[in-house]
Structure formats: structure tokens, C-alpha cells
Amino acid sequence: MAASKDAAANKPGPAEAAKATPAKAEAKSKGIEVLEGLLGKESAPVIPLPGRGKIESIKKKGLLRGWLKKLRWRHAIIGGTFLGLVAIPATLASLYMAFLAADQYHSTTSFAVRSIEGGGATDILGMFTQASSGSTVSDSYILMDYILSERMVAAADGKFKLEDVYATRGPDYFYGIGSGLPIEDKLAYWRDMVSVNFDHASGIIQVTVKAFDPKQSQRIAQFIVDQSDSLVNSLSLSARNDVLRAAQDEVLAGEARLAKARAALRDYRDKSQEISPEEGAKLAVQLIGGLEAELTKLNADLAAAKSQMSEDTPRIRVLKTRIESLERQLAIERQRLGTGEKSTSTDSDAPDVAGRIAEFEELETEREFAERAYTAALSSLEKARIEANNRQRYLALFIEPTLSEMAQYPARLLNALLVTLGLLFMWSIGVMSYYNIRDRA
């Protein structure tokens, strides 16, 4: 009874039952939504677990503080280096190029080294555009080295006083030149202000001279042209003199040899008292022939007389005496001609005709050879003179030094851009190296 009374007392009334029915329906609908979510339906809501969001937010705040702490030091250093190594120097360089760098004017001239022997072209333009020979190309390289040499700098400094021409203009201390510099520093500055370009195909040399004054740059360019022309002329004259000197030495040697041969031949004629031993030999042969003919006739007369007279008659004795005299004379003449043996009665030191002819022929051969060598040396000298005149080098100037009307240098925007890109490149290399070392550590 007591239990039934308690149950009756706990039983809800009609109003409470009406309130409990929507609550059960709502709980049931949530259960269905959870079940649908577990089954994978898209309309199922996610039910957050109590206390989990607070834990995740706390962890995120801790990680954010650590990341911000690390970010503060590392990126602050990187940003500071970018500001100090890239931004500020690039800004200063741009401001310097825009407001402080002095204007520079240029003067351009073009010329080429040409040879007279290469005049195959029919017009002036063809002469300037024809292909250069090997000799003129080598002369062009010599000329380029001369323009950028200490000798040219010393000559230009003596004429224009480079320290005054390229003195510092206002606050532009970068492009100006100081005072009291050695020749090596002046040469380095000269190579910055003077540029030389060579076209190997046409052999054209282009020279560009920069200066703070347009007329001054034109005068310096004209001075370079004059000095280059003097150098080419001196090289051509030196080569011509070398060729002619060698040919002239050969002519002098041939002339001395010919004079010596002629003097030896003259001494021989003075000693032998004859112009030519060959002519003397002809006369000796004729004389021997005459003596032999006369001796033959006397022998015939002696034989006829012996047939008619006795041996003691005066006529036979006279004929025998004449025959003996002719025989002795004939022997002497034959010995002088060089035939037979010399007798003790004749002068053994006197040269015979054959010996004189041999000596004369030797001297005459030397004289003829010396004459031919001398003639060949004279011909070589004349040929060398013609070739040397035809191979002369000269400076063909076809663009006079120009006078600039507008400053072309320095290239302000380009220089500022190059400085900025260079600084940015070096800074990027440093940062990349840092991260590479950091990742490998």
C-alpha cells in the first residue's frame, strides 16, 4: 500500500507528461543524427567533446609563442642584413648615380691598318671593307696594345695633363682621378676611359674616348689617331729599311768580291805583259807551224843537196846549221806552248803558255762569277726596293673623332640596377648558405 501510494505520488500529471514528450523527441532526434553521422551521412553534425577545445587552444597558443620567439630573432637578423647589405647600399648608389655622378661625353673614331699591295678593290669603300691580310691583322693588334699601353698614357699625360683633364668634378669622387698618382694607376684609369674594339673580319679598329668635356674627349681621340699614324709609319719604315739593308749588304759584298777579282786579273796582265794568254797561244801555234814548215823545207833542200854534193861542201854545212837552229827554236817554242819537256838551257821559272792559260782562266772564272753575283745582288736590291715600296703600311682613317652633344655616360639607371642586383644576389647567396648549414646541422 505504501509503495502504491509512492508510485501514485511520483506519477506525473498531464501537464508534466506533455512537457516530457518533446524532450524525449529531441533526444531521439539527436541520437538519430549521431547514428547517421557514424554511418557517414553528410547531414550528421559533429558533437564536440567537453574540455577538448580548451586543451587544443592552449597547445596552439604555446606553439605560437615558441614560433614567434624563434621568428623574432632569426628573421630579424635576416631582415637587418637585407636592410644593411642591400636596401641601404642600393639606395645610396641610386642617389649617387642620380644626383652626384658627373656627366661624361664620348668621342668615337674608326680607322684600319692597310697595305698598298692589298689594293685590289676598285673603290674607296671596297678598300676599307676588304679582308685584312695576316700582316695587317698583326699590325692592328700591335696598334691596339699601343693605344692601351703606358707609352700612350705617358704621351697623353705630357700633352694634356691627365690629372687636370680627369680631375674630380664636385662631389663625384668615384669617376675622377686623384693627383700625384703613379703611371700604373694612370694606366688603369686610362683603360677605363678609353675603349678599343677590333673587327677581325674587316680589320677596323674603333676607339671611344670618354671625358667630362666633349671638346676635350675629341682632342684626346685626335691625339690617339695621330700617335697611331706615327707608329704605323715607323713600323712600315723600319720593315722597309730592314729589307733594303739586307739587300744592300749583299750588293756591297758582291761589289767587293768583283773588285778583288778584277784587281787579281789586272795584276796577272801586268806580270805576263799580255792581255790574254789564249791569243799568245794562238800566235805560238802559228809560229811553231811556220818553223816546222821552214824546217821541212830545209830538210828537203838538204836531201837534194846531198844527192848532188858531198858532205863537206859549204852549202850542205849551211843547210845543216840552219836546220839545227830551227830545231832548237822549235823546241823552245814547243816548251813555251807547254808541250814536251823543258831543257836545262831554258828558264824553268818562266811559266809556259798552258800554265798561263790555266791561271788566266781561273782568274777569269772568278771575275765572271763575281760579276754575276753582283748583278744578281743589284737585281735583288731593286726587287726588294719595289716590294718594300708596295708593302708599306698606312693608317686608313675613315671616321674622324666625333664631337658629342649629349652626355652618354655614366649609365645611371643601368649602374644602379646592376648594383642592386649584385647586392641582392650576394645577400641571397648568404641566406641560402645559412639555411643550408642550418638544415644539415
Q: Give the tens place of pLDDT for each residue, 369-391.
A: 988 988 888 888 888 787 777 66
Dist CA 329 CA 339 (whole Å): 14
- In the prediction, which pLDDT does 66 show? 59
Name the E strands within 125-211: 194-199, 204-211
- Overall fold of domain 98-245+398-440: Bacterial polysaccharide co-polymerase-like (3.30.1890)
Across the beta sheet with 194-199, the strand order is: 194-199, 204-211, 105-115, 393-399
Dist CA 211 CA 197 (whole Å): 18
Statement: residue 70 has pLDDT above 80? no
Tallying the residues shown for the chain, one arrives at 441
Q: Categorize the per-residue pLDDT at 49 as very low, low, confident or very high, splitting at 50, 70 and 90.
A: very low
Q: Is 313 helix (H, G, I), strand (E, B) or coil?
A: coil
Query: CA torsion angle for 166, 167, 170, 176 (degrees, to 10)?
Result: 60
Statement: residue 341 has pLDDT above 50? no
In this predicted structure, which of 68-72, 167-171, 221-225 has the lowest mean pLDDT?
A: 68-72
Dist CA 120 CA 126 (whole Å): 9
Q: Are 306 and 316 in contact (CB under 8 A)?
A: yes
**Helical residues (DSSP H) of 343-403, grouped into ranges:** 353-390
Q: Could you count the other beta carbons within 10 Å of the beta carbon of residue 180?
A: 6
In this predicted structure, which of 249-263, 305-319, 343-357 has the lowest mean pLDDT?
A: 343-357
Helix (H) or strand (E) holding 127, with range, is: helix 124-129
**Cis bond upstream, residue 410 (ω within 30):** yes
Q: Output the nine-digit C-alpha cell for 79.
A: 631582415
Q: Output the nine-digit C-alpha cell for 122.
A: 676598285
Q: Output the nine-digit C-alpha cell for 188.
A: 688603369
Q: Output the nine-digit C-alpha cell for 415.
A: 649602374
Tell me the whole-structure pTM to 2 decimals.
0.55
Break the chain into its structural domains and give their ranges.
98-245+398-440, 256-387
DSSP 345: T
Statement: residue 46 has pLDDT above 60? no
- 103-119 burial code (b ≥16 CB/10 A, e <16): bbbbbbbbbbbbbeebe
Pick the closest to residue 20 from 12, 10, 32 (CA basis): 12
Q: Categorize the per-residue pLDDT at 57 as very low, low, confident or very high, splitting at 50, 70 and 90.
A: low
Q: Categorize the per-residue pLDDT at 340 as very low, low, confident or very high, splitting at 50, 70 and 90.
A: very low
Q: Categorize the per-residue pLDDT at 354 as very low, low, confident or very high, splitting at 50, 70 and 90.
A: low
Helix (H) or strand (E) holding 415, with range, is: helix 412-440
Dist CA 162 CA 216 (whole Å): 11
Across 27-54, average pLDDT: 50
- In the prediction, which pLDDT does 413 show? 85
End-to-end CA distance of the chain: 86
* Cα dihedral across residues 166, 169, 174, 180: positive or negative: positive
List Cβ neighbours of 199 (8 Å cut-off, separation of 6 or more). 205, 206
Q: One-letter amino acid identity for 435?
A: Y
DSSP 133: P
Phi, psi of 210 (to 5 degrees): -110, 145
Q: What is the DSSP string of 49-110?
A: PTTHHHHHHHHHHHHHHHHHHHHHHHHHHHHHHHIIIIIHHHHHHHHIIIIISPPBEEEEEE
- In the prediction, which pLDDT does 359 show? 80
In this predicted structure, which of 1-5, 212-216, 435-439 has the lowest mean pLDDT?
A: 1-5
Q: Report pLDDT digits (tens) over 76-117.
A: 788 888 888 888 888 888 887 777 777 889 999 999 998 775
Q: Categorize the per-residue pLDDT at 302 as very low, low, confident or very high, splitting at 50, 70 and 90.
A: confident
Q: Report pLDDT digits (tens) over 114-166.
A: 877 544 433 343 443 343 445 678 889 999 999 999 999 999 999 988 888 88
List Cβ neighbours of 143 (8 Å cut-off, separation of 6 or more). 113, 205, 228, 231, 232
Q: Report pLDDT digits (tens) over 233-290.
A: 888 888 778 778 888 888 888 889 888 888 888 888 778 767 766 666 677 677 778 8
Statement: residue 173 has pLDDT above 70? yes
Q: Output the nine-digit C-alpha cell for 238.
A: 723600319
- In the prediction, which pLDDT does 329 show? 80
